[in-house]
Structure formats: C-alpha cells, structure tokens
Chain A
Amino acid sequence: MAQINGKDPVLVVVQLTGGLDFMNTLIPYTSQHYHDARPTVGIAADDVLPMNNTLGWHPAAGALKELYDAGNVAVVQGIGYENSNRSHFRAMDIWHTTEPLKVSTEGWLARVTRDLDPNTDNPLTAVSFGRGLPRALAAPGVTATSVGDLDHFGLMTKIEAEQERAQDLDIFKRMYTPSVGTGVVGDYLAQTGRDVLAGIDMLRDVPSQYSSSVEYASNPIANALRDVARVHTASLGSRVFYTQHAGYDYHALEPETHPRLLTELTQALSDFMADLREHNASEEVTVMVFSEFGRRIKDNGSGTDHGSGGGAYIIGDHVDGGLYSEYPSVKPEDWLYGEDLRHTIDFRGIYGTVLEQWMKMDPTQIVNGTFEQINPYKVTAA
C-alpha cells in the first residue's frame, strides 16, 4: 500500500447537487459571447476575480481562489460525458455508477471500498455524511457507514435520556447475537446489527476528542466537512468520505442563490483544509468536488436550465495547482445542440486519475474502462 509519510491516502468526495453553474464559477469574462448569452445572470468583467487574461473567479469564490493561488487546486475544465443526460436523477446516477448507457446498481465508490477492505474489517472504511447511502457507495456485500448527525449518531437516537439509551443499546446488542438455529438470514441480521454498534462505538468519542481553532460557518456543507475533519483526525482507518451540498438547481433566482452557495462551499473547503493542516492531517487527503452537470449557456431571464460541460475541482497539499483539460468553447458556432458547452474530458478519466495517481488503485474495473487521465499531483504518493 502506497502511503504518504506513513499515512494511507484518503479521498473526500463533495457532491454539489442540482447542477453547479461552472460557467459562472470560473467565468470567461473577456468573451463578449459570454456577456451576450447571459444578460441576467452574467457577472460583469469588473466584478470577477481575475485568474488570467480570459478567466476569472466568481466574486463569491474568493476562498477557493486563495487556495488556487496557493497552488492547491486543480480545476478540471469541461468535465462531462457523451450525450449528457439532463435529468438530475439519471445524471447523478451516471456519475455514481459510471454507466452512462445502462442503468446499473453498483456504485463506483462501493467498488473502491470493496477493493480497500475486501473482508469488511472496518465499518468506517467508507463514511457518508447525510441520511441514507448515496448510490455511489451502495453495492451488495459492501459496508459503508452513513452518518446523519455525528453528534447524535447511531441507534435509538430519539431517546434523550443517556442512561436509558445506553441500556437500550446493550439490550440491542444482546438481541443481535448470532445464535444456533436462526439460519443464514438471522446470522446476517445479527452481524449487521453488531456492525452498526461497532461503528457507533468507534465514533462515540470522536466529537469529544476533537478540538480546533478553525471556526466553521453553520450550514450543511460546513457541518459535513467539519464532520469529515473530526472523523479523519480521529484516525479510525477511514479512506473514503462522502458529503453533499444541495441547492444548485437555480432555474430561477440564480443571481441570489449561486453566490450564497459558492460562499458557503468555498469557505467550507478553505476551513476544512486549514483544519486538517492544524491537525497535521492534510497531506494524505485529496478532495474532489463534482456536480451532475453544468448549465445552459444562455440564461432564461432569472436563472439557467440544465446543461452539460461542467467543472470539477481537485484540492490538496500535493495537488499541482492549475487548469486542466480545456475550457469548452463559448463561441456560438461550437455550442452543442446550439445551446450547451461541449465537454472536453470524460468524468471517468478524472475518477481514474484520483484512484490511480492518489489512491494507488487500478481504476479499470472500478470505472469500467480506460479513460484519458490528467496529471494533477506534484508529488505522487510514494
């Protein structure tokens, strides 16, 4: 197993649900086509935070710009796949299962988890924050722990009296004892119940052991990334973390919603990296931020509709910061179907990049094929 200064590499995935407007995050501010297409949601050239002569950050993405300027962010421009699907659910499914053509049930990170922990020795190898498991982490025989609220995690969470709950958990444990004669299903059920308790046991002291000078904001993505930091710094052997930030489907009121979400997201990412560094726990971590699609080039007078050709961000101490792949052409004659950004790199190649170059895994079976990769790491994990 390839390690970074004796520590196993860790992947943190941040899902932006609803369809991040990539074109209004990293803005082609010198292009008249951009300003013509977006009379309502467009950002004036004077307002962007310039990156170079053609691209600038949205003014609400200052925290990400700072990370970028420090060389810790690889921007993957034009990420997508052929015939991008405009349904949120189907599109998200495609990203989760890496199957654009058929409906599949196995998640790519579940396959990662199975490779990392084939005997499911550690219920915390993969941890998702939020209720229920995302499909990316679901596959038969794969254990991934789903944490709704780290401070009140586990079973019987509605029972407030501490002593009563402890007693109930003890009874639960005894009821979920594999015993002779209960059969395969009974044994499996008992084992599953005990796995849940093991996860709870491992996570129980995490909140009380953690302290940090970083003060996160109070919003869902900040809370989730703080939870990742708390579990990661507790050194429980977790290798994959999953978080979600919702609300990006701004068909309407994009000028109000997009900046608020960008501020929440980029500040949370910045706080997260600062927090890990304070705990000397950053260098083994790579963060990958994605969304299910980009948005239409022309605005609709209030927001933007579902499109294609989005952007992803790979963040970490070992990242060789910069722009990767190509920014999709904004010239009207290049628009896909006359209205969309054309994708310039397949998302499965980016999954492959992170898996092969960071996690030191063979991505071929996990993403179902071989796809063009980028080289976003300065020092490959060794």
Chain B
Amino acid sequence: MASEAIELRAHLMRRVGVGATRGELEELANTPYEEIVERLLHPEEHPNPNEDLLDRYFPAVRSPDVPVTASSIWIFNLAHSGAPLREKMALFWHHVFATGWYKGEHGPTIIHQIEKFRENGLGDLRQILLDLSHDPSMLSWLDNCQNHAGDINENYGRELLELFSMGIGNYSEADIKAAARAFTGWTFEQPIPLYPTGGYDSEFVYRADDHDNDEKMFLGRTGNLNGEDIIDVIVQQEATARFLGRHLYNFFVADEQQVPAWSIEAPRDPEAIDELVASFMASDGNMTAVMRTLLNSKFFQNARFARIKSPAEFVGSAIKLANWPQEPDPAITTWSPAAAAMGQKLMDPPSVEGWHTGKEWLDGGTLSERVNFAVEQVMDTSKPGVQSIVARIAADGSAVEPEALVDQVLDLAGPVPASEETRRVLAEFASEEGLLTFDTDDARETSEARIGRMLQLVVSSPEYQFA
C-alpha cells in the first residue's frame, strides 16, 4: 500500500492539478515536499506539452467562436501540463472572476481573459485586478462599456468590491459609486477583423473624454481617483486578504459554505484564514507567496478528500487515470461538453457569482454524468493508465487474493479512501470469482478484465467524487 510520502504527494497533485499517475508520484516521492511546492510555484519553467501540436490539431481554437474547444484543451493541460498549478490558478481565478462569454459573444475575448490568468495567476493581486479591469470580456460582461462620466453604470464597480476583492460589508454604497465613477472611460473597441467571417476581436481603450475627473472619496482616500487608484486601495485592505483567503481555502483546501454566506458565517478554519491573510499582507498581495504558505501549511496537508471535485476536476481526474490520450486526439473536444453536462460549462458560468461548489455540484443528473463518464474512460483496458495498473498487480506473476485486488485497485487509482462499507461490498464481489492468476494467457486475459471491472466500480464509488 501507498506510503505516507505517496499519499501526501497524491493529495498535493490532486489539488494543484487533477492528480498524478503512480509513476509520477513515485518519482516525486524522492523529492522533498517543499521542493516540489517550489517547483509548482514557478510554472514559467515548464511550458505545456505540445502547444504547437495542439494549435495545429485544433486551429479552430484561434478562431473566435470556440470557447468549448479552448476549455477542452484547458482540461487536457490540467491533466498533462508539467506546470499544473498554472492551469489550476487560471481555473481558480475563473471561479472568482466568473465571466460568461454568452452575454455578449464578443469574439474570442473570454479565451484571452483565461490566457491572462494563466500568464499571471501567481502574480501580484494588483496586476491581476488591473488586467481584469482592462479585459474586454469583463468590461462587456459587467457593462463597464456603458459606464459613462455623468451617467454611471455601477455593475463593475459593485462586483469588483463585492465579488472580486473585499466581500460585502466592508464598504458603503457611496464607495461603490466612487469606484464606478473612477472606472468611467474604461471600455473596449472592436477593430475590423483580419478575416471577413467570424467574430470581432476586442481591445481595451481608455476614453479620457468619458472619464469623470471630479473629486471622489473611496474608503477614506480622496482625489481625482482613477481605476488604478481604486485597485491600489483595494489590495491594501485586510478585508481583501480575508475574502480571497477564504476563496483559496474553498478552492484548494476544503469545501466552504457558498460565498453569499461568508458575511454571516465564520470560516470552517479561522486560523487557516489568518495564516493566509498574514502571508497576503506581508507580501503586498503576491499570490506566489500566499500559495507557498497555503501549500506548505499543515491545514492544507491534512485536508485530504475534504472537497467534492468540480466537474472540470472530475473530468480531468478520470482522463488522467486512464492516461489517454496523451497527445492531441479528437476525443479531447468531448471533455468540455462532458464537464458542462456535469454542471460546469467552462467560460460560461451561470452568473457573476460563479458556480456553487461542494455538494451543490451533485444532483441525480450530474452524478449520473460523472459515473458514466468515469466508467467510460477506464472501460477500455488497453488504455495506458489501466495497463499500468494491471502491470503493477501482475508484476511478480503470482496469484492475487480477491481482497488484495480490491486494496490494490483502490490504492493505484488514487489512493481512493474507501469506507469500510465500500471496501466490504467490493471485496464480496471480488471473492465471487476467487483468486486472480496470471500463469497462462487465458488467465491473464481474465484477470485483466477483472481488474478493469474493479476499476470501473472504484470510479463509480462515492469516495471517488472527492478530491
């Protein structure tokens, strides 16, 4: 069975990505934990595999209408990138800054927004919020393009404070108005595209003649404030550190209550949030520093299986387990629709509040989609991930007891933390067919099928829903 070193690394890789193969975990077991964390925090040293190849196979991703393809490739990279945390931080910011492409269908803007999150998701919050405030898909999504001097539209100003930084209760309605006024003139335009068909790309423009230059007061700061000034004030607030700390905790550590409850209900682990807040304040809101604190903390390392996988994580974990395809393949394009059927349509969240997480991912329809997807991924025993499990169980060629079959498949598929009940049910089933043997070709074929079937049952289990 897996050692603590393997289990801890499996936990880390589930949270910073969608999990790792047993071979990858065994390699990581030779590296000290904090060194692995440090490597994860520097994704720039690890470009994604096959970027050029993916571009060639999916030229459509460069055209404006295909967030579906782009999100499928995103899931591919979550599973196979050498720098999974880059992809995972982009997913984190997408959860927090939930932007829906569908409202405006403004060309490829949402793909560009996610690209920014990938480039700078571990940077300073100040820069992240500045990029966000320049982002055409956000400016369209929250109507800042209709926020004019003398005729403000508060939508972006309000959500920047309520959903993207401080959380409700830490500012006044007057602050919202001041923030909205400061962002007047921040809009985008759509240059004529290169090709006659398809959507128009968009780019940020600042219209000085549409900016409100009168004096504003925002959280105690007074002057002819512009958007940059608002962001400067926001990133210095402890409320911002606290709100984002809770988001990070919910996304990386353990399922929290839904965001609207946060102004009323205390965090699940207040001391953990305090640690994250201290790290944020000490680093002037540097996300690499905050994530270093989080990943190295005891509260993170101990929070095994304390989260329900999001659909993107679930799809990613199942394809990582099957470990196929590792190269571009048309099968990839079905992944984003699969996650959508499970309740998470990437690049199209249901509202600016983002997705409700934790157990709210699960209903009868989405659970069926999850189980059916996972079973389908592993039912072909020739896939490399299944073959690797078969090879490990058959390694020394000797017969395997039914209970050992259950324990090994549970272990090699994760480890998956089976309850007593789940383990007993699986063991009873395995016992019906007795020992697994590998001494003849026929025996090996039968045993391979039994291992594959056991794997199907394991990915159908309630425990497999947790990350």
- List residues of A whose CB falls within 8 A of some B CB: 87-90, 93, 103-105, 123, 131-133, 135, 140, 143-146, 154-159, 164, 167-168, 171-172, 174-177, 179, 182, 184-186, 188-190, 192-193, 195-196, 199
Contact = CB atoms under 8 A, between A and B. Distances in A.
Interface stretch (B124-132, B185-193, B365-373): B365-373
B153 to A, nearest CB: 13
A190 B456 CA distance: 18
Contact of B358 (A103, A104, A132, A185): A185
Nearest to A131: B341
Contact of B103 (A90, A104, A154, A174): A90
B350 A135 contact: yes
Interface of B: 100-105, 255, 308, 340-343, 348, 350-353, 356, 358-360, 362-369, 371-372, 375-376, 379, 419, 421-422, 425-426, 429, 453, 456-457, 460-462, 465
B379 A193 contact: no
B351 A143 contact: no
A175 B460 contact: yes
Contacts of A192: 362-364, 367
Given A105-B351, A154-B368, A175 B462 contact: yes
A140 B360 contact: yes
A304 B419 CA distance: 58
Contacts of B103: 87, 89-90, 103
Contact of A189 (B342, B362, B372, B460): B362
A170 to B, nearest CB: 9
Contacts of A199: 364
Given A103-B352, A189-B462, A175 B364 contact: no
Given A104-B351, A155-B460, A90 B367 contact: no
Nearest to B355: A105
A199 B126 CA distance: 50
A88 B369 contact: no
A301 B68 CA distance: 30
Instruction: List the 4 shortest-distance A-B pairs measured between CB atoms, nearest first.
Output: A89-B102, A146-B365, A103-B351, A132-B341
Given A87-B103, A103-B100, A195-B364, 18 more contacts: A90-B102, A90-B103, A103-B103, A105-B350, A105-B356, A140-B360, A143-B363, A143-B364, A155-B371, A158-B376, A158-B379, A167-B429, A171-B429, A174-B421, A185-B359, A188-B362, A192-B363, A192-B367
Nearest to A103: B351
Given A174-B425, A188-B362, A193-B462, A88 B367 contact: no
B367 A196 contact: yes
A356 to B, nearest CB: 28
Nearest to B418: A175
Q: Would you call the interface of chain B mostly helix, strand, loop, or mixed? A: helix
A179 B425 CA distance: 13
A182 B419 contact: yes
A235 to B, nearest CB: 21
Given A89-B103, A172-B460, A185-B255, A156 B375 contact: yes
A196 B364 CA distance: 5
Contact of A144 (B104, B365, B419): B365
A171 B358 contact: no
Given A89-B103, A175-B425, A189-B362, A140 B367 contact: no
Contacts of B453: 164
Contacts of B342: 132
A93 B365 CA distance: 19
A175 B423 CA distance: 9
Given A175-B425, A177-B421, A196-B364, A190 B102 contact: no
Given A171-B425, A172-B460, A177-B421, A87 B102 contact: yes
Contacts of A158: 372, 375-376, 379
Nearest to B466: A185
Nearest to B141: A103
Contacts of B360: 140
12 contacts: A87-B102, A88-B105, A89-B100, A90-B102, A103-B100, A143-B363, A144-B364, A171-B457, A175-B421, A185-B359, A192-B362, A192-B363
A87 B364 CA distance: 30
B402 to A, nearest CB: 14
A117 to B, nearest CB: 13
Contacts of A154: 368
Given A93-B102, A174-B425, A145 B462 contact: no
A105 B367 CA distance: 19
Nearest to A194: B364
Nearest to B343: A132
Contacts of A182: 419, 462
A29 B376 CA distance: 53
B420 to A, nearest CB: 8
A185 B421 contact: no
A301 to B, nearest CB: 15
Nearest to A130: B341
A308 B210 CA distance: 31
B256 to A, nearest CB: 12
Contact of A185 (B308, B367, B379, B419): B308
A174 B366 CA distance: 20
Contact of A133 (B365, B375, B376): B365
Contact of A190 (B348, B351, B426, B462): B462
B460 A156 contact: yes
A97 to B, nearest CB: 9
A159 B456 CA distance: 10
A358 B376 CA distance: 43
Nearest to B341: A132
B456 A168 contact: yes
A140 B353 CA distance: 15
A244 B421 CA distance: 41
A131 B369 contact: yes
B344 to A, nearest CB: 11
Contacts of A193: 367, 462
A193 B372 CA distance: 13
Nearest to B308: A185
Nearest to A102: B351
Nearest to B365: A146
B425 A123 contact: no
A184 B375 CA distance: 26
Nearest to A186: B462
B465 to A, nearest CB: 6
Contacts of B100: 89, 103
Contacts of A93: 102
A185 B465 CA distance: 11
Nearest to B350: A105
A107 to B, nearest CB: 10
A196 B368 contact: yes
Nearest to A92: B102
